Structure 1
Amino acid sequence: MTTSIQICLSSFDPSGPPLCRERPALNGYIGLCIHCPHADRGGGRLRCRRYSRRITVREKYALPAWKRLRREIVDRDGGQCVVCGKGDHLHVHHIDGDPSHDDPGNLVSLCEHCHARAHLEIRRGGEERVRRFLHHSQR
């Protein structure tokens, strides 16, 4: 099982050129942003300093590395929601609420209903409340 989506050290060296080769319309630009030294990472967000552009989480979810990791998490969880046991409309939830923290220990399979409930708990009381919800709800 993959332990995380790693970013190589060169991704943090801003003296290098942007990976899009100064052509933000280059095919695969979004995938390149994840590893680009001109990307600001923090607070679960990614932003291109060079083009003052926010790279959204939805764009990350289209990457092949994320799709592989997602499949591994769903398989690890037996192809079902860890809260209610449903096996359809599964999402992979970041327990700590940080969409850039892709360590498998921070990811869990939830059906769309339980995923919505987890985000409601985040709004109500943060990460600890979600942990309690997941802990007390698991079968």
Structure 2
Amino acid sequence: MSILKSIIEHINYVASAILFVIGLYTVLTHSNLLKKVIGINIIETSIFLFFVSVGYVTGGRAPIVEASGNHVYVNPLPSALILTGIVVAVSITAYALSLIIKLYEAYGTLDMDEIMEARSGQTNE
């Protein structure tokens, strides 16, 4: 019973680990470049969830200085880091998708194995 209670109390960490494994499995097992980008986005999302979960404080308040009281405050640094990470992740995803479009125009496929075969055939000539 205590294991179930512990899992329920830390469900954010469990969900983050599950999302990470799903994304890693997707990246490692699929040769379609679009599916790989989706897997990388799932991994990024799991890391964002993990950092936000670490920064959460039960009963914490916004870090606004008040004149009275002894309060527990939430650390704003994880949220700021995650906002920066989201911007970087969106930028990298947009760049990766533009590269995928160029690869599709050049080779007519998104399958990494077929692209590698076509590239090896071009270098032998």
Q: Normalization by structure 1: what TM-score?
A: 0.26
Higher relative helix content: 2
- Structure showing greater radius of gyration is 2
Q: Where is the strand percentage greater, Structure 1 or Structure 2?
A: 1
Work out which structure has the larger RCO, using CA pairs closer than 8 Å and 6 or more positions apart in sequence. 2
User: What's the TM-score once normalised by structure 2's chain length?
Assistant: 0.27
